[in-house]
Structure 1
Amino acid sequence: MAAAVVASISMGVMKPVLSKLTTLMGDEYNKINGLRKEVSFLRRELSDMVALLDKMDNADELDPHVKRVDLTCVSQLSQLRYLKVASEAWYLSGQECLVVLPNQVRRMHRLETLEIDLDVLSIPTDIVHLPCLSHFIVRGLKTLPDGIGKVKSLRTLRRFRLPADSSDETIEGLGELTNLEELELSCLVEGPACAYALRSWVLPPFPFLDVFDVAGWTFSRVPRWIGGLHNLQKLRFGVKEVSHFMWDDIAIMGMLPNLIILSLRVEGDIPTEGIVIGGPSFSHILIWR
């Protein structure tokens, strides 16, 4: 497996480094004020990384058809900034692979990116307390963490699939993420259920948003607050129907100065005269879907 090869190579590099750090902690360095403490801290961090790599390296030996990636010990890596888990081999084989994360990650206070391109058993509940988390991308997870609105540092939130009975409080909490630049969510049941929770929004909650991709969500009509997303470049969503009272809303989308990709799904019947979207207001759009 590719994951085992990478782990083996990484361990081949890390273990000699640990040996050198052990030497540095000898008596000759006790005379240098503060150095032993710093070296000891670095050694602990690297030891935790080796333990994680060793577990990944041995996974295929224990089970050639392993379907779990155990990352429970990653919570010890307090200096980790970037964590991505993906496997093209598992994806191509069609096997289901489950990532197991630790129950708590609060110690990972420097983590900026968490990206998991495999199925996840669950997300640690305290992830909303990570002060530096900027990019949160988890494939197919069927819930948003409670208190997601607390993660003010978030700039990317992608690939979550929400159930139709998601609480209004959870979805409305998205409006507190004022630094978001990319929001991509889907609903397990295509329709109005998830979009309904946003009915109370009046002002655009995301002043810096570039991507608003909720292709499976169905709004009763084009939300008027979309017209205030002046940085928006990509927009995908659905509406229940198209009728005469919606043309003003469609015109608002045409006034978005940076919009280049627009995908508008109509759930109801299309008027007999069709839908005409064009003119100077939409001249900057490169892709229609």
Structure 2
Amino acid sequence: MKETVEAITRSKCGLLSLHILQRRLGELLRMNRFLLVLDNLWAEDRRFWEIFWVPLLAGESEKEKECWALLQGRTFPLGDSEEDKGLVEIGTKIAEKCKGSLLAAKSLSDLLHDSKAEEEWMIILSEMAVLEKDQNGVSPSLQISYHHLPFHLKRCFAYCFIFPNGCAFEKDEVVRLWMAEGLIERDGRRRFDVTGGRYFDDLLWRSFFEVSSTCQQGKQRYQIPSLMHDLARFVAKNEFVRLENEISDVTAEWVRYATLFFLDQKPLAFEKLYEYENLRTSAFLILKEKIPNSVTNLYNLQTLELNECYKLLELPQGTSKLVNLHHIGMHLDWDNITDLNSMPQGIGKLTSLQTLSRFVITSNNKSNIDELRDLNLRGELCISKLENVIDSNDAQDAILRGKEYISNLMLWWTGKDYSDEEVNRSGNVIKSLHPNSKLKYLRIDNYPGRELPDWIEDQTFSRLDTLRLYHCKNCILLPLLGKLPRLKNLQLQGMHELRSMGTLVGFPSLEILVLWDMRNVVRWFENEEGTIPKLRELSISNCPNLLELTCLPTTLVKLEVRNCNKLPPIAVPSPFCYLVIK
């Protein structure tokens, strides 16, 4: 800091006191624009940067004004702050102690927004003064925001330290982890996932989470702000251990959660985990194809988070020994399925298991699909290699219809050529895989049968809003999909034997319709007397035999037609419709 003062004044600085140095540097920079270049400087201690940062903020007085403006706007939404000069004076001091951090100002404003009592504001200001003396590297403003959280939100936030800094996650993913760890309190008759969703929204509103710029498969993702992640590290330090090249010095008896990083392809000394007898969560966060079988010796384990193990080929064979396991998180890319080689034998014994997003059918004399019978799973589930189910009774034994908490389901056959016997057998299998009526998303890939099951058109699917049928090449007829009352998004791809979508009846909620690589489709509907009342987007690509496209609804805002060479000129249904033809 002394060198910075000397660089500005171009004279030697004899000041020795840190406080005086900070004040002098602030005076030199106040109300001036400046460019700071730090060449060949390395400091890992956050305290160094906080000391150095204070006078720079003094030079950027606008930052302090922004902090007060944010605090003022959220605590006095009607603009009546001038009526209470006492609160304004205290609030200005609080904003100054935020040291230019808008995140700190926002988190404190969330805390103070419903309080107009001066004593409450003075308590916050006093707490900030006390915490400023604690050199733990965490912003006092953020510590106060955490201390004033309800107990259940404190636990849920601290648990999220399991995610590395900058790691994006989905809301449902976090809620499932909280549920697996028993962090969600019972709230009357409300479902745990609904209560957990409210916890998440509350932490998001209080700025402990933020919206991430990344998006996966159209799903909104979130992350912990960097400063908040430092806070999570501080409050969770006694219960978490992060294993990389060296073991943490955290007292073994307190550790409940562990995160493992495989920074290279050399196996980590996994046995180091065994000294943590109370360990309940392990997260493996760098690409690995195989998890050591010794993880099955951690009998208290409730959560095994493998979402970042994109190359995972199999689970440990002794997984069935982990009888307390509630959650196995595995990466599932719905548009790029990477299949597991096998499933651990006896996984159906894990009756406490709530999350298992991928299940692969083995090719032994008897398939293992009946292991799903006693698993009360929730969230998303992809059942792959369904061609290995020989007896449709085994599929029925999976009792998918009784798994009411499964919201997203994929039924996946391997894309290959099938014999007539296998084609017929697949039809019986899929009839036995009737899912629960609360399903929201259904996708069927590479199904080799000639007809889809009647249960797809069942009107009891009152929540189904997305249906994707991909590469069902032998299918010659669609069920009456217009019966589905909430269907908003329908995508058909690679159904080469299909000639039309059937009768234009129903579709009361359909907004998006996609037809791609439908080689033999001649008309998009056989009977075109009706209409699709809410259709907003229609995309048709690689349908070389499509001859007509009539009865387009006036609600269309986007019409995209590509590589449909036999289609005559199209009349745009509405002047507000965006048209793409190639």
- TM-score, normalised with respect to structure 2: 0.31
Structure-2 separation of matches of 1:45 and 1:145 = 37
Q: 1:210 to 1:136 in 2, by over 3 A?
A: same
Structure-2 separation of matches of 1:14 and 1:111 = 28
Task: Tell me the residue number matched to 1:137.
Answer: 443
Q: Structure 1 vs Structure 2: percent identity of aligned residues?
A: 15
Q: Deviations over 1:79-114 (max 9, x none)?
A: 32211368xxxxxxxxxx667576123232321111
Among residues 259, 281, 285, which one is paired with 2:574 in the alignment? 281
Structure-1 separation of matches of 2:537 and 2:448 = 26
Q: Detail structure 1 runs of 4+ shifted over 6 Å in the superposition.
A: 47-50
Structure-1 separation of matches of 2:288 and 2:579 = 39
Secondary structure of residue in 2 paired with 1:179: coil
Structure-2 separation of matches of 1:127 and 1:147 = 9
Structure-1 separation of matches of 2:509 and 2:469 = 19
Task: Tell me the residue number matched to 1:56.
Answer: 343
Q: Which one is further off, 181-190 or 140-149?
A: 181-190
Matched, 1:78 2:379: no
Secondary structure of residue in 2 paired with 1:147: helix
Taking CA–CA contacts closer than 8 Å with sequence separation of 6 or more, which of the two structures ends up with the larger relative contact order? 1
8 Å CA contact 1:207–1:231 kept in 2: the answer is no
Matched, 1:158 2:468: yes
Q: For residues 1-289 of structure 1, what are the structure 2 equivalents within 5 Å?
A: 4-5=289-290, 15-17=299-301, 46=325, 56=343, 69-70=361-362, 72=369, 73-84=371-382, 100=388, 103-104=395-396, 105-106=398-399, 107-115=402-410, 119=414, 122=426, 123-143=429-449, 144-150=452-458, 152=461, 153-162=463-472, 166=476, 171-186=478-493, 188-189=495-496, 192=499, 195=500, 198=502, 201-203=503-505, 205-215=506-516, 216=518, 218-220=521-523, 224=528, 227-236=531-540, 238=543, 240-241=546-547, 249=550, 252-253=551-552, 255-263=554-562, 265-267=564-566, 275-277=568-570, 281=574, 284-285=577-578, 287-289=580-582
Structure-2 separation of matches of 1:147 and 1:213 = 22
Structure-1 separation of matches of 2:475 and 2:382 = 29
Structure of higher CA gyration radius: 2
Aligned-pair distance for 1:176?
Answer: 1.9
8 Å CA contact 1:8–1:57 kept in 2: the answer is no
8 Å CA contact 2:539–2:561 kept in 1: the answer is yes
Aligned-pair distance for 1:18?
Answer: 5.4
Aligned-pair distance for 1:180?
Answer: 1.3
Q: Deviations over 1:222-244 (max 9, x none)?
A: 763674342331332756435xx
Aligned-pair distance for 1:207?
Answer: 1.9
Q: 1:283 to 1:161 in 2, by over 3 A?
A: same
8 Å CA contact 2:559–2:578 kept in 1: the answer is yes
Q: Deviations over 1:133-160 (max 9, x none)?
A: 2211122113422332125232222134
8 Å CA contact 2:504–2:529 kept in 1: the answer is yes
Aligned-pair distance for 1:276?
Answer: 4.1
Q: 1:83 to 1:74 in 2, by over 3 A?
A: same
Q: 1:8 to 1:55 in 2, by over 3 A?
A: farther
Which runs of no fewer than 5 residues in structure 2 stay unpaired?
A: 1-286, 304-321, 330-339, 346-359, 363-367, 416-421
Aligned-pair distance for 1:214?
Answer: 2.9
Q: Deviations over 1:242-280 (max 9, x none)?
A: 5xxx7xx3xx5373333353447244xx7xxxx544769
Aligned-pair distance for 1:127?
Answer: 3.1
Q: What's the Cα RMSD here?
A: 4.6
Aligned-pair distance for 1:4?
Answer: 4.6
Secondary structure of residue in 1 paired with 2:578: coil
8 Å CA contact 1:110–1:131 kept in 2: the answer is no
Higher strand residue share: 1
Count of aligned pairs: 221
8 Å CA contact 2:386–2:411 kept in 1: the answer is no
